[in-house]
Amino acid sequence: MQQSLIAQFQSIQHSEYATFMRSCQEFLTAVEQQVLNDNWSFDVLEEIERSLQKLSNRLTRLQQRDFFPDDQSEAARTMHARCSQALYEFAISVYTYHDITVNAEDAKNIVEHGEGR
């Protein structure tokens, strides 16, 4: 009985993680599209930052109610890290395009907190 409940719970969590992973892939595709379009505006950067923040909040909520974490949880964290890296690289490109010098620590703060502008 207990194993059945755990399996049902994990099935629900897997579905939620799959939805999260699709959202992350959409995020990565959107960032890639901005790069392909040479769209280096600060407005777009801020929009992407907000999107990543939403993903971060979703992942936190998913993990808070995941009492039996497995490989899906780890895969979601890995995908989220890819999204964070994509934002970091996009932010560097935006600042470079506008000929604004940003050191690595400032870039990290920009990505994590929207600071430095």
CA distance 79 to 46: 20
Residue type, 19: T
Instruction: Give the residue extent of every domain in the chain.
Output: 2-113
Model confidence over 84-99: pLDDT tens digits? 999 999 999 998 898 7
Query: How far apart, in Å, are the Cα atoms of 18 and each of 37, 38, 81, 84, 106?
Result: 28, 30, 16, 18, 33
- Grade residue 110 by pLDDT with cuts at 50, 70 and 90: low
Token pair recorded at residue 45 = 């950067």
For 59-88, what is the mean pLDDT? Answer: 95
Query: Does the structure show a pLDDT above 80 at 115?
Result: no
Nearest to 72 by CA among 29, 26, 15, 8: 15
Model confidence over 25-36: pLDDT tens digits? 999 999 999 999
CATH 1.20.58 assigned to domain 2-113? The reply is: yes
Query: Computed from CA positions of residues 74, 59, 18, 36, in that sequence, does the dihedral angle turn out positive or negative?
Result: negative
Torsion-angle region of 30 (φ positive above 0: left; ψ -120 to 50: alpha; else: beta): alpha
